[in-house]
């Protein structure tokens, strides 16, 4: 089982990007999903999540600009980012709780990350 994130790139201030994260392998189901980011010289921080109950939460810095969603049938997680600012420059990582295997255990899986650079 693995997560593969894509969609990063260079975008101007005020621009938009959509990140995607596809989960592949013998997946039984995906529980909670999230996007994190790590800015240059910074620590990893939670950007947005969809909890097991379906609630969405966002970091204060991105509320009103970012939207997390998921396609259950395609095992894909999205992060729509609008009105991007310099401080959004970071490597973005997808994260998911994935149930797989004979005993249907839940594993905390991470994608490798995709770089978003916001420039003037």
Say what the pLDDT of residue 80 is: 98
Say what the pLDDT of residue 11 is: 98
Radius of gyration (C-alpha) of the chain in whole angstroms: 14
Tokens 């013998």 belong to residue: 26
Percent of the chain exceeding pLDDT 90 equals: 98
What is the per-residue pLDDT across 26-82, written as a single tens digit (0 to 9) for each? 999 999 999 999 999 999 999 999 999 999 999 999 999 999 999 999 999 999 999
Cβ-count burial of 64 within 10 angstroms (0-12 exposed, 13-18 middle, 19+ buried)?
A: exposed
What distance separates the 2 farthest-apart alpha carbons in the chain?
Answer: 50
């Amino acid at each position: 089982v693995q997560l593969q994130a894509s969609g990063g790139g260079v975008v101007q201030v005020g621009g938009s990007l959509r990140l995607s994260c596809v989960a592949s392998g013998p997946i039984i189901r995906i529980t909670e999903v999230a996007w994190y980011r790590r800015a240059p010289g910074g620590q990893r921080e939670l950007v947005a999540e969809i909890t097991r109950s379906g609630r969405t939460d966002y970091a204060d810095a991105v509320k009103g600009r970012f939207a997390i969603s998921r396609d259950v049938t395609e095992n894909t997680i999205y992060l729509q980012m609008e009105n991007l600012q310099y401080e959004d420059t970071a490597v973005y990582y997808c994260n998911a709780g994935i149930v797989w295997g004979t005993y249907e255990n839940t594993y905390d899986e991470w994608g490798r990350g995709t770089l978003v650079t916001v420039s003037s």
